Structure 1
């Protein structure tokens, strides 16, 4: 993984073998709107309810401003995921590190979404694997939390392939598609991350 700091934003640019993770930019709006609109039925069962108004440019720009403020404060980091193809990049999804807690907790919550045309190609597995070293080595956190609907086997595979383990089950945990839904809770600790890294060096 390569790490480059982006001068206009406190969110880093992270490079995996095929994907680039970076903060959203104003120029990304059209691609983001098109991908979200095209993927709406695909994403609907897994996300909080949203409408066409949420795809407006003013909403997008407000999110950009808020994202930069949060990154500067060190509480949240929002990434767009791009597939590198030839000389260009294609927006394929997004990933968030949110609710960063310091002091005794030292954890962050991981969330992500993938556009329908790019699902099932291992891109999210790679994106999550690319952001993990940033969490532990750069932010210095101790634990990553993630949660998914029990029926979402694709999300389970993404996390398991990156060393996460199932830690619990939360009843009515998040409001998804307009209703409170149970979630499976997964976690990855620094100890497990470092152990896996040591095994990989042998």
Structure 2
């Protein structure tokens, strides 16, 4: 089972890291800039139909530095967790994509929204399915949340498979839900609750 590992940072706050069989997830660091730039730049046309509109200016080093700072602050506040996904290869690692757990809500809600992206060269290899699975113990055990919400474009079958393989179920349809590539787009809504997750985990242990 993937578990949270606490690593020292330059502040008293820990750097959250999650690990699975092939992958590791952690918050971004400035040392990741070159790999992030190359992956996003080379995957731009692949990602364009699925993301909010962005330009080359959004790939700048200063923009990335702001992203790193914000990711750290949000994680320390417990509101959002922006993970980079790395493929472990020997003693090295390769950046392959990202996962965001955003808009954490407490009190009566106890949910978080899940989003993710994968570099074109690494798509279709089951990596995002594994990456999402690594986040589930963190959400339900470490953060002790009750629900994960996710949404995808109706034609995005790859995203549907990622969620279904991780136990998410279809819950609805949202008209003009998010602005994607400059247009308001409909989305299919999926969700995973803690009870369903725990039932699936218990069943796996009995096999």
Structure 1 segments of 4 or more deviating over 2 A?
Answer: none
TM-score (normalised: structure 2)? 0.96
Aligned partner (choices 190, 202, 205) of residue 201 of structure 1? 205
Structure-1 separation of matches of 2:75 and 2:15: 6
Question: Offset of 1:12 from its aligned partner?
Answer: 1.4
Gaps of 5+ in 1: none
- Is 2:162 the counterpart of 1:161? no
Is contact 1:173–1:183 with CA below 8 Å preserved after alignment?
A: yes
Q: Residue 72 of structure 1 aligns to a residue in which SS?
A: helix
Is contact 2:111–2:145 with CA below 8 Å preserved after alignment?
A: yes
Q: Which residue of 2 is the match for residue 13 of structure 1?
A: 17
Q: Which residue of 1 is the match for residue 56 of structure 2?
A: 52
- Is 2:89 the counterpart of 1:85? yes
Q: Residue 151 of structure 1 aligns to a residue in which SS?
A: coil
Q: Which residue of 2 is the match for residue 148 of structure 1?
A: 152
Structure-2 separation of matches of 1:3 and 1:113: 21
Q: Residue 105 of structure 1 aligns to a residue in which SS?
A: coil
Question: Offset of 1:7 from its aligned partner?
Answer: 2.1
Structure-2 separation of matches of 1:117 and 1:11: 27
Question: Offset of 1:3 from its aligned partner?
Answer: 2.3
Question: Offset of 1:201 from its aligned partner?
Answer: 1.4
How many residues in Structure 1 have an aligned counterpart in Structure 2?
A: 202
Structure-2 separation of matches of 1:61 and 1:183: 31
- Is 2:111 the counterpart of 1:107? yes
Structure-2 separation of matches of 1:117 and 1:176: 22
Cα deviation, 1:80-133, whole Å, max 9, x if unaligned, reads 000011221000000000000000000000000000000000000000000010
Question: Offset of 1:17 from its aligned partner?
Answer: 0.4
Structure-1 separation of matches of 2:14 and 2:69: 12
Q: Which residue of 2 is the match for residue 132 of structure 1?
A: 136
Structure-2 separation of matches of 1:20 and 1:100: 22
TM-score (normalised: structure 1)? 0.98
- Is 2:101 the counterpart of 1:97? yes
